Amino acid sequence: MSLEITFLGTGSAFPSPARGASALVLRREGQCWLFDCGEGTQTQLMRSHLRAARISKIFITHLHGDHFFGLPGLLCTLSLQSSPDASRAPVDIYGPLGLRSFLWRSLELSHSQLLFPYTVHELVPTPDQCPAEEFKDFSGWDRGEGVPQGPAGRVLHLDPGEDSYLLLEDEQLVVRAFRLFHRVPSFGFVLEEKPRPGKLDVQKLRDLG
- The pLDDT tens digits for 30-78 are 889 999 999 999 999 999 999 988 999 999 999 999 999 999 999 999 9
**Which one of the listed residues 66, 92, 142, 159 is annotated catalytic?**
66
The sign of the CA dihedral 96, 34, 106, 9 is positive
pLDDT at 62: 95
The structural domain count of the chain equals 1
Question: Count of residues for the chain?
Answer: 209
CA angle 122-151-109, nearest 5°?
Answer: 110
CATH (domain of 58): 3.60.15.10
Q: Which amino acid is at 83?
A: S
- The pLDDT tens digits for 194-204 are 888 778 888 89
- The pLDDT tens digits for 97-146 are 999 999 999 999 999 989 899 999 999 999 889 888 888 888 777 666 55
- The pLDDT tens digits for 69-86 are 999 999 999 998 877 776
| Structural domain span for residue 52 | 4-207
Annotation says 66 is catalytic: yes
Pick from 8, 113, 2: which is nearest to 70 by CA? Answer: 8
Residue 32 belongs to what H/E stretch?
strand 31-35
